[in-house]
C-alpha cells in the first residue's frame, strides 16, 4: 500500500517520524509537504493530499497539524474523502471498521510519537467491516456529495 503524508509546520516533526516508521514497515510513502518548520496554511497541504487520494493515486493518507482538526476539516471538503482525527488506537479502529476512513489526521501537539505510530499501524492494518449498516451510512454521504456543487 502506498501512503501519502503531509503536514503543516506544527506537524512537521511528527510527520517526519511517521514517514520513517512507515518506510521501516515496508510502505511506499510520498511526502506531499511541508519540508521544514516555516509557517504555512494547513488547508493547502490538506487539499493537496486529499485530492490525490480522491483521484485514487493513493489508497490512504496521513495528515498532521497541531490538533489534527484543521487538516481533517479541510480534507473532508474534498469529494470522496472520509478523514478522521484519531487520538488513540480505538478511535483509529472505529474510523476504519465503521466509517471506512481513507485519511488519518493526527495532532502533533496532543499525542506523542510512539502513540502516533501505534495509531497509524492500527489505521493502516484495519479493514472496513463491510457491514450493511456501515455501507448504508457511507452511501448516504456519497450521495450527498454528488448533490452538492464542488
Q: What is the pLDDT of residue 149?
A: 66
The region that residue 31 occupies, defined by phi over 0 for left and psi between -120 and 50 for alpha, beta otherwise, is beta
Tens of pLDDT, residues 9-43: 999 999 999 999 999 999 999 999 999 999 999 99
Tens of pLDDT, residues 66-106: 999 999 999 999 999 999 999 999 999 999 999 999 999 99
Q: What is the pLDDT of residue 41?
A: 98
By C-alpha distance, which of 148, 141, 45 is closest to 53? 45
Confidence of residue 45 (pLDDT cuts 50, 70, 90): very high
CATH number, domain with residue 18 = 3.40.1400.10
Residues 43, 47, 53, CA angle at the centre, nearest 5°?
Answer: 145
Q: List active site positions.
A: 65, 98
Domain that holds residue 11: 2-147
Which letter, b or e, does each residue of 32-64 get, where b requires 16 or more Cβ atoms within 10 Å of its Cβ?
bbbeeeeebebbebbbbbbbbbbeeebebbbbb
Q: What is the pLDDT of residue 148?
A: 84
Number of domains in the chain: 1
Q: What is the pLDDT of residue 15?
A: 98
Amino acid at each position: 500500500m502506498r501512503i501519502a503524508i503531509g503536514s503543516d509546520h506544527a506537524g512537521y516533526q511528527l510527520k517526519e517520524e511517521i514517514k520513517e516508521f512507515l518506510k521501516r514497515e515496508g510502505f511506499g510513502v510520498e511526502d506531499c509537504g511541508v519540508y521544514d518548520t516555516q509557517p504555512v496554511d494547513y488547508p493547502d497541504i490538506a487539499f493537496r493530499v486529499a485530492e490525490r487520494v480522491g483521484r485514487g493515486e493513493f489508497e490512504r493518507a496521513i495528515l498532521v497539524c497541531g490538533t489534527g482538526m484543521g487538516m481533517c476539516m479541510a480534507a473532508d471538503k474534498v469529494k470522496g474523502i472520509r478523514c478522521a482525527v484519531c487520538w488513540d488506537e480505538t478511535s483509529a479502529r472505529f474510523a476504519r471498521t465503521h466509517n471506512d476512513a481513507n485519511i488519518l489526521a493526527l495532532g502533533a501537539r496532543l499525542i506523542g510519537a510512539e502513540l502516533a505510530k501505534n495509531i497509524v499501524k492500527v489505521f493502516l492494518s484495519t479493514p472496513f467491516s463491510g457491514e450493511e449498516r456501515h455501507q448504508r451510512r457511507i452511501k448516504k454521504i456519497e450521495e450527498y456529495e454528488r448533490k452538492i456543487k464542488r
